């Protein structure tokens, strides 16, 4: 079903518009990340899936907007922007690192306040909400924060090598790390949507038991997909990740069609 023609929200970027898609995949970036992080995966998705990449405030074309330093507030803002779109086609969520926490809280809002069960929640490179821990990286000085970015290779190398770009980017990066590290899981009902966990086999920031903990947060199915690579395995494994997304959503939409029929 085609979405209505409207001005794009500040929150979403459609790099590859697919007006006849069957599912909207809302893509939530990591701490310090931008919507453009998901361009390569958006490009690889089939005509049946349209990616809506979220642009957090404080970066790129939203660099003058005040960053949000709270996961629950971030999820609420995205929920308000997303709500008008939920009546037009099913929604799936993909979040990497901090984005997985945002995606979890967004799924809770969709299910709890709209009765809209996402087709799936893809939780990538992030411990389960109940396994949350903090390294207090957001409290480090600029040099310490940059060292972390270099360690996990999560920021464009052009930015890390350009003092002026880095100066502009650091406030939003620090705010994101604060949001991620001060996140507080609030016990509640398990999600009804299926959860697919994704992780790099050499990720120094997420251990396998922490990823497996996502199983505790859904009454639906859970499976864990492990790829070769570190915390940002998506860069090298984008085709494989797009394949997992495609296969998962194809099966889910087929089930939805059978239910309607």
**For 110, which DSSP code?**
I
Among the listed ranges 36-40, 110-114, 135-139, 224-228, which one has the minimum average pLDDT value?
A: 135-139
Q: What is the CATH number of domain 12-260?
A: 3.40.50.1820
What are the angstrom distances between the C-alpha of 85 and each of 3, 89, 126? 8, 7, 27
- pLDDT band at residue 5 under the 50/70/90 scheme: very low
pTM for the full predicted model: 0.90
Q: Where are the domains of the chain?
A: 12-260
Q: Which of 24, 42, 97, 175 is catalytic?
A: 97
User: CA neighbours within 13 Å on the CB side: how many for 63?
Assistant: 9
Among the listed ranges 51-60, 107-116, 200-209, which one has the minimum average pLDDT value?
A: 200-209
What tens digit of pLDDT does each residue of 13-54 get?
Answer: 999 999 999 999 999 999 989 999 999 999 999 999 999 999
Q: Which of 30, 138, 217, 231 is catalytic?
A: 231
What are the angstrom distances between the C-alpha of 234 and each of 36, 101, 153, 244? 13, 17, 12, 12
Amino acid 163: pLDDT: 57
Determine whether 231 is an active site residue: yes
Among the listed ranges 6-10, 71-75, 109-113, 125-129, which one has the minimum average pLDDT value?
A: 6-10
Angle between helices 163-181 and 71-82 (to 10 degrees): 100
For residue 261, is pLDDT > 60?
Answer: no
- pLDDT band at residue 149 under the 50/70/90 scheme: confident
Residue bearing the bigger pLDDT, 50 or 9: 50
Q: Report the mean per-residue pLDDT for the chain.
A: 88
DSSP per-residue string spanning 159-213: HHT-HHHHHHHHHHHHHHHHHHHT------PPBSS-EEEEEETT-SS--HHHHHG
Beta bridge partners of 95: 28, 123
């Amino acid at each position: 079903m085609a979405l209505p023609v409207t001005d794009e929200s500040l929150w979403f970027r459609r790099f590859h518009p697919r007006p006849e898609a069957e599912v909207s995949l809302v893509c939530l970036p990591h701490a310090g990340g931008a919507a453009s992080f998901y361009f390569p995966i958006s490009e690889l998705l089939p005509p049946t899936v349209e990616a809506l990449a979220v642009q957090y405030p404080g970066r790129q074309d939203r660099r003058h907007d005040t960053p949000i330093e709270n996961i629950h507030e971030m999820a609420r803002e995205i929920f308000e922007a997303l709500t008008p779109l939920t009546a037009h086609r099913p929604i799936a969520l993909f979040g990497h690192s901090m984005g997985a926490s945002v995606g979890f809280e967004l799924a809770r809002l969709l299910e709890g306040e709209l009765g809209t069960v996402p087709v799936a929640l893809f939780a990538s490179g992030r411990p389960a909400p109940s396994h949350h821990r903090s390294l207090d990286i957001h409290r480090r000085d600029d040099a310490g924060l940059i060292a972390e970015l270099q360690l996990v290779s999560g920021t464009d190398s052009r930015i890390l090598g350009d003092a002026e770009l880095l100066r502009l980017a650091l406030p939003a990066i620090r705010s994101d790390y604060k949001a991620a590290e001060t996140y507080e899981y609030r016990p509640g009902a398990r999600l009804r949507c299926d959860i697919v966990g994704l992780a790099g086999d050499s990720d120094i920031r997420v251990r396998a038991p922490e990823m497996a903990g996502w199983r505790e947060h859904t009454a639906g199915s859970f499976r864990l997909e492990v790829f070769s690579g570190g915390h940002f395995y998506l860069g090298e494994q984008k085709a494989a990740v797009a394949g997992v997304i495609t296969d998962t959503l194809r099966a889910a939409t087929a089930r939805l069609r059978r239910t309607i029929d």
